[in-house]
Structures are given as structure tokens and as C-alpha cells.
Amino acid sequence: MTTVDPRRRVPRTDAVLAEPRIAAAAERLGRALVKSAVTAAQDRARRGELPVEQEAVVSAVLDSLPTTATGLRPVLNATGVLLHTNLGRAPLSAAARAALDLAAGTCDVELDLATGGRGPRGAAAIDALLAAVPGAAAAHLVNNGAAALALVAVTLATGGPDGRREIVIARGELVEIGDGFRIPELLTATGARLREVGTTNRVSRADYAASVGPETALILKVHPSNFVISGFTRSVEIEELTDLGVPVVADIGSGLLAPHPLLPDEPDAASSLARGATLVTASGDKLLGGPQAGLLLGAPGEGAQLVQRIRRHPLARAMRVDKLTLAAFEATLRGPAPPTRAALDADPAALRGRAARVAGSLAEAGVDAVAVDSAATVGGGGAPGVTLPSAAISLPERYADALRAGEPAVLGHVEHGRCLLDLRALPPDADAALTAAVLAVGAGRER
């Protein structure tokens, strides 16, 4: 009697792809991705790692498929860092997400529906920004904060008709903004020349005044947003530089549009313009709480004129934002407070109450969990040295790796041999998912 090789009973590719659940997945994720998963499951069955029956192969395929056709995975941010760069910084509001869905289809991004002719691109987003910063007379959006600063430099310090190429900047403000990118290298890459003034820790108005001359295109003030210099220091405020005969550009970094009581030392766009800045540049995906974008705001008069000049520079086209960013940015400004603002304004007492409830539920299920006080930070290169009172769930250290590998992934941090899950950056409606993730790792298995 001839024995049939069991590998020959592995279901055919077309049969697996025709199975209703697999066919539905192909509609959602694309045939190529699903077919690759089918081939991998068939190979496992041939190696004896799976039963050769079709149902076993189908189940293995479904288990291996992602939820969406992207390699990105959702992560619950329990680090206590509100703007975690590795997690995409600011999470978008529900209003911004709805706007993204609308903009993902065909929309009137450059169409005047009343006339049928071409309309001004991004006008609604710019109007929303100007409404949020009434002291600005003109505004422009580009794809990130570094692009906004580079566009200012390339327009004012290399593209002007008068040959002014120097940017005057304090030595203590020649900062690195992350991942090896440095402000001086960004500026000199545009063709501008830097004229450094003062020392690392001290600079005076006289230093600026002595350096401004016929070659000066602008004075640049850069907020050192990811570090603090303390001790024997001195800096010069914007208002002390406004009478030196050249534009004063303030790169505030974090995207804070107006003062916030918890961040008294963090510069904001409204105050910078009020103090005399000609132009302000900032990021949209930090304290503003929106999508990645670079903001450029001009004061009335010269500032507004410079914004229009910058907007018409040829490189502005290369740095422009797409319809998705325009939609999410406008909705962030016009809609309810985004998650970043809600996290910043969270009540510490409410956070402690949430932590106690989550820890209590976990403890009832046999998990070694307790609620503890913790300290959160802004992150994203904003408000260095500022800590925000928060609350966390403390777990055994072994939970850290397992939670990070879970579904959804949960990112906490390890401190003094314990895994802390800080709640400040998590909205209250995420508590149930957080609890379920912890229970999936180790409920009832504590020793």
C-alpha cells in the first residue's frame, strides 16, 4: 500500500484565498500581502509545524495578518512623556482624525466651489492659525519646524536683492535639535553665514549691536528647548533687539501659541510677536497638539511683507504641506482641546484616582500592582526641566518587555526595579485597554 506524503494534502493557494474570511482580508489589506501570508502558512504546514487541514492553515493566515495595511502598530503611551518623539509626538484629536478622513478623499483643497476656478490652497488652515494668534498679520505653513527656519534663512539671508547674507545668533543658541541635526548646520546649508555673538553662557545687547552691519540679514533667537543652562548666565530678550535695524526672527520650537501657567519659561507665539519679533517659527506637532508642520507667523508691517516674500520663494513649493496636514491642522485649532492640551491640563487628583482604580482591578485579578505618584514631562524638545505631577501603576519589572510586545503595545518605563505605567499622557478612555493589556501578560500568575 502506497503511503501519501501528508505534505501533498496542504490546501492549494487558490482554495485558501477563496475562503470567505481570507477573501475579506484580501479586500481590506490587498491580495499581495494576504497571498504572502498564505504561502508562509503553507510552508509551515509542509514542515510539520501546522496541521495540513485547510482550517488550520486558514487560522494561521488570519492570525498572522495585520489589522491594517501598514507596518505601524498602535502604542499606549504610558511613559509619562506627553510628546514622545519615538511615538509620533502629539496624538491627534477626534476632530483632526475626522478631518483626515474627509481630506483622504477628493476635496476642495484648491478649488473655489462658488466660481469653479482655482482657489487659494490652505486658506482655511491659515485663517484658523491667524484667529488663534491675533497678533500675527500673516502666516504660512510648511512641512516641519526645521523647514520653516530653513525657508526663512534661504529667503532672507541668501535670496535677497541686497546681498545681506549674515545671520546674527548667540553662541549659546547654536543647539542640536535631535537625531544629530544642528541649527548651525541647517542654517549654513542654505548658504547663509553665521555671525556668532557672546559666549556659551552669556550674551549682551552690546554684543548684538556690535555685530549688526551692512551684511546682516536678520537676528535669530533660538529657544534652547531641550536643555537648560543655569548659573552664571545672561541672555537678551527680543524687545532689546528690535531697534537694531534688521528683522528679529524667534524660533520658539514647541508650538505653544499662547502662555500656559504650567510652563512660564516656555516661549509662545503671541508673546514673542508682542515683544517685537518680526517673524516667529515653530512646530505644529508639539505643544500645539496637531500634525507635523512648521509654522511661520509675521507681525504687522514688515513681518507680514516678509511672510509673503517667503511664501513665494521657489523652495516653498518643496516644503509645502499636503491636504491631510491642512485638514488636521485646521481641525486641531478650531475643534476641542487636542489630547496634548488635555494631558497638560490634567488634574493630578483625577490621575491618582484613575491609577487607584486600575491598580485595584489588577490586584483583584492577582497582579502585583499598586498606584504610586510619579512625575511626567512635556518631551518633544519642550519645557526642559519642567516636571508635571502625575500618577502611575507600578508593576514588577518583567512586565515592561512583555507589555511592549503585546497587542496593543504598551510603553512604560522602568524605575527602581519596577515597571511604571504613567497615566498623564493616556486619556481616561484608555484605562480599560491598559488594564486588559496588563491582564493578558500576567493575570493570576504572580508568585
DSSP 382: B
Share of residues in the chain with pLDDT > 70 (%): 94
pLDDT value at residue 381: 75
**396-446 residue pLDDT tens:** 999 999 999 998 999 999 999 999 999 999 999 999 999 999 999 975 444
pLDDT value at residue 444: 40
Tell me if residue 443 falls in helix, strand or coil.
coil
User: What is the set of domains in the chain, with CATH numbers?
Assistant: 6-64 (no CATH), 75-86+342-442 (3.90.1150.180), 94-336 (3.40.640.10)
Averaged pLDDT for residues 88-98: 97
DSSP 42: H
Flag whether pLDDT at 447 surpasses 50.
Answer: no
Flag whether pLDDT at 7 surpasses 60.
Answer: yes
Q: 401 CB contacts (<8 Å, ≥6 apart)? A: none
Mean pLDDT across the chain: 92
pLDDT value at residue 160: 60
* DSSP, residue by residue, 320-374: ---HHHHHHHHHHHHSSPPHHHHHHT--HHHHHHHHHHHHHHHHHTT---EEEEE
Please name the amino acid found at residue 347. Answer: D
Which of 249, 239, 243, 184 lies closest to 209 in space, CA to CA? 243
From edge to edge, which strands make up the β-sheet containing 193-197? Answer: 138-142, 294-298, 279-283, 248-253, 216-222, 166-170, 193-197
Tracing cell 501659541 back to the chain, one arrives at 257
User: Using 50, 70 and 90 to split pLDDT, how confident is the model at 378?
Assistant: very high
Tracing cell 476641542 back to the chain, one arrives at 336
Flag whether pLDDT at 136 surpasses 80.
Answer: yes
Q: Are 290 and 97 in contact (CB under 8 A)?
A: no
